[in-house]
Amino acid sequence: MSTTLDRLEAPTDDKVWRQLNRASFAVVSHVTPAGEPRSSGVVYAITDRRMYVVTAADSWKARQIAANGRVAVTVPVRRGGILALLFPIPPATISFHGSAAVLPPDSPAGQRVRDKLSHLLPAERRSACRIVEIRPEGRFLTYGLGVPLMRMRDPEAATARVPVS
């Protein structure tokens, strides 16, 4: 006999992108020129299947990501429902690695993203910011995406690898 749990569909590339479009917070990790790991919480926007982050022109992110061009990203996906009001429910996650480029705010992509995130960026900082464009590569690694809460206890059932397209 088939159960609801047996009929769950694995996440698809489109479903992952839909979730990334709904969220707005991520943790971006990179490596310093000395080889030390760093991570930062960021607010982002998605355009044309790329993630964009606004940062200060003189920030570590702008300098170090420009030097290396490689990042890892984790996006927590809030799990809602009535249980979230009663219990501490862990978020689902979408993780990926990718290439990153640091763009000036007056580039075409920079202008689109700056406008999309303008409510978060003070007017006096808009011309002095940098836009980090992140292109996911390989596969998305999801945990708990589209999985009932009780199935999240089983890492094999809760994990999926979805090719990036």
Q: State which H helix or E strand residue 113 sits in.
A: helix 108-116
Mean per-residue pLDDT for 106-134? Answer: 78
Per-residue pLDDT at 2 exceeds 60: no
Q: What is the pLDDT of residue 123?
A: 76
CATH 2.30.110.10, applies to 13-163: yes
Per-residue pLDDT at 137 exceeds 50: yes
User: Where do the domains of the chain lie?
Assistant: 13-163
Q: In this structure, what is the dihedral angle of CA atoms 22, 74, 115, 119, given to the nearest 10 degrees?
A: 80
Instruction: Give the C-alpha separation, 61 to 22, whole Å.
Output: 24
Instruction: Give the C-alpha separation, 75 to 19, whole Å.
Output: 9
Mean per-residue pLDDT for 82-108? Answer: 86
Residue 44 pairs with which residues in a beta bridge? 53
Among residues 110, 162, 156, the alpha carbon closest in space to that of 137 is found at 162
Per-residue pLDDT at 55 exceeds 50: yes
Q: What is the pLDDT of residue 163?
A: 96
- Give me the DSSP letters along 13-39: HHHHHHHHHH--EEEEEEE-TTS-EEE
Confidence band, pLDDT 50/70/90 cuts, at residue 8: low
Q: For 159-163, which contacts have Cβ atoms below 8 Å and span 24 or more sequence positions?
A: 160/10, 160/11, 162/10, 162/11, 162/12, 162/13, 162/16, 163/13, 163/138, 163/139
Range of 8-12, 32-36, 38-42, 153-157 with top mean pLDDT: 38-42
Q: What is the pLDDT of residue 5?
A: 43
Instruction: Give the C-alpha separation, 91 to 114, whole Å.
Output: 28
Taking only Cα atoms into account, the Rg of the chain, rounded to an integer number of angstroms, comes to 17
User: pLDDT per residue over 14-48, tens digit each?
Assistant: 999 999 999 999 999 999 989 999 999 999 999 89
Among residues 110, 69, 73, the alpha carbon closest in space to that of 93 is found at 73
Percent helix, strand, coil in the chain (nearest 5)?
A: 30, 40, 30
More confident residue, 162 or 4: 162
Confidence band, pLDDT 50/70/90 cuts, at residue 134: very high
By residue count, the chain amounts to 165
Per-residue pLDDT at 113 exceeds 60: yes
Per-residue pLDDT at 91 exceeds 70: yes
Q: State which H helix or E strand residue 142 sits in.
A: strand 129-143
Q: What is the pLDDT of residue 120?
A: 67
